[in-house]
Chains A and B, each alone.
Chain A
Amino acid sequence: MNARQLPKHSLNIVDRPLSKNRSEVPTVSLSAFAYLFSEYIQYLVDRANSISELEDRLEKVGFEVGLRVLELLSYREKVLRRKTDVLDILRFIHGPAWQYLFGKTADDLQQAASADDEYYIRDYDLLVSRYISVPRSYEPFNPGTLAAGIMRGMLDSAGFPARVTAHFVTHKDRQRPITTFMIKLEPSVMQRQAYLEAAKKG
C-alpha cells in the first residue's frame, strides 16, 4: 500500500520524516535493541554448528550494516573529502561513527607495537554486549562481534579491506573485561599507504 495515497495523519511510524530539529537525534530504546539482539543470538545459536560459525554469521550481519552506515554518516556529517589515509578512517570510526552508533566515542585507538598493519580500538563498556553474560561453555564467543562486523563493513566500503575481531581483555582499572577490537589491514592497503607516503615526500 503506497503511503502517499493515505492522508498525512495516518502515516505509520517508519514513513514519518525524521525530526527537523538537528539537535534531537533519533533514538531507539536500548531495551528494545537488547531484546531484539538477544533473540537474534538465540536464533543463531540454534542454527550454528560451532562457535566460530556463530561469530561468522553475527559478523556478516554487522558487515552489511557497516557498508550502509558509512554512506549514511558521510552524508549526515557532511564529510566532503574521501578518506585516503589509514589513520583518518580509523579516527573517523573511533569518533563520529562510534558516537552515532553507540552514543559516545570509543575509548582508545592504538597502533600495535609489533606490526604496523594492526590497530586496536577499545571500548570499556560496549553497548551491544552490556547485558549479555557469556556462559563458560561458549567461552571464546564475543557478542561484540556485531560491532566488529560493522567496523569491517565501514572499512571495506571506504576502500580499506581488513579483518576485525573482538576480544575481551581484562583491564587493570576496570572490574569487568573491556572489549578490544583488533583491526588487521590487508597488505594491499599497506602497499597503497606506502606509495602515498612516498608520493607525498618526493
Chain B
Amino acid sequence: MSVYSLYVINKSGGLIYNRDFCEAARVETNDSLRLASIWHSLHAIASQLSPVPGCTGIELLEADTFNLHCFQTLTGTKFLLVVDPHASFIPALLQRIYELYSDYVMKNPFYETEQVIKCELFDENVELLIRRYLQQVT
C-alpha cells in the first residue's frame, strides 16, 4: 500500500481526524494524539529556526520506510499524510483532501469547528479518493 495514514490537526495542535489505510499503519489512539501534538510543536519551532526567511514550517519528513508530508492551510489546520517513500504526486493528493475537507466538513452544519471530525461523507470521500489514487499508481 502506498498510502499509510492521514492525520488532520487543528490550529491548537489537537488531533481531529485520523484514518489508517492498512493494517501496518495502525497506531494506538494515545500514540496518535501524542504524534499530533509533537508534530504541531516541531512545525512551529521549525518555522522559527529556519535560516531562510519566510519559512512556514515543515513540509516533508523523510525516513527509511516512510515519508510524512504536511500541508498547512491558511487557517493553521495541518493535513499529514504518511506514505511509502516512492509515492508520487502527494502534494496534489493533499490538495484534493483539503478540497474534500472544505466541502464535506466545513459545509456541514453539524460540525463544530476545531472539534473531532465525525462526518460520514468526508470519511467516504477520503476513502474513495485514496482508493482511486492507489489504483492509478499501481
Contact = CB atoms under 8 A, between A and B. Distances in A.
A132 B110 contact: yes
Contacts of B119: 133
Given A45-B109, A133-B120, 9 more contacts: A38-B107, A38-B108, A42-B109, A45-B110, A135-B110, A138-B110, A143-B109, A175-B124, A176-B124
The interface residues of chain A, by DSSP majority, are classed as: helix
Interface of B: 103-104, 106-110, 118-122, 124
Contact of B103 (A39, A45, A131, A138): A131
B118 A132 contact: no
Interface in A169-187: 175-176
Contacts, number: 40
Interface of A: 31, 34-35, 37-42, 45, 131-135, 138, 143, 175-176
B137 to A, nearest CB: 24
B118 A41 contact: no
Contacts of B109: 37-42, 45, 132, 143
Contacts of B110: 45, 132-135, 138
B115 to A, nearest CB: 12
A31 B107 contact: yes
Contacts of A35: 106-107
Nearest to A131: B107
A196 to B, nearest CB: 43
Contacts of A40: 109
A138 B103 CA distance: 20
Contacts of A131: 103-104, 107-108, 121
A196 B122 CA distance: 51
Contacts of A175: 124
A31 B108 CA distance: 12
A37 B107 CA distance: 8
5 contacts: A35-B106, A35-B107, A131-B121, A132-B109, A134-B110
Which of A41, A133, A138, A176 has the most B CB atoms < 10 Å from its CB?
A133
Which of A38, A132, A135 has the most B CB atoms < 10 Å from its CB?
A132
Nearest to B118: A135
A138 B110 CA distance: 9
A86 to B, nearest CB: 35
Please provide the 4 A-B residue pairs with the shortest distance between their CB atoms, ordered closest to farther: A41-B109, A131-B107, A34-B107, A38-B109
Contacts of B106: 35, 38
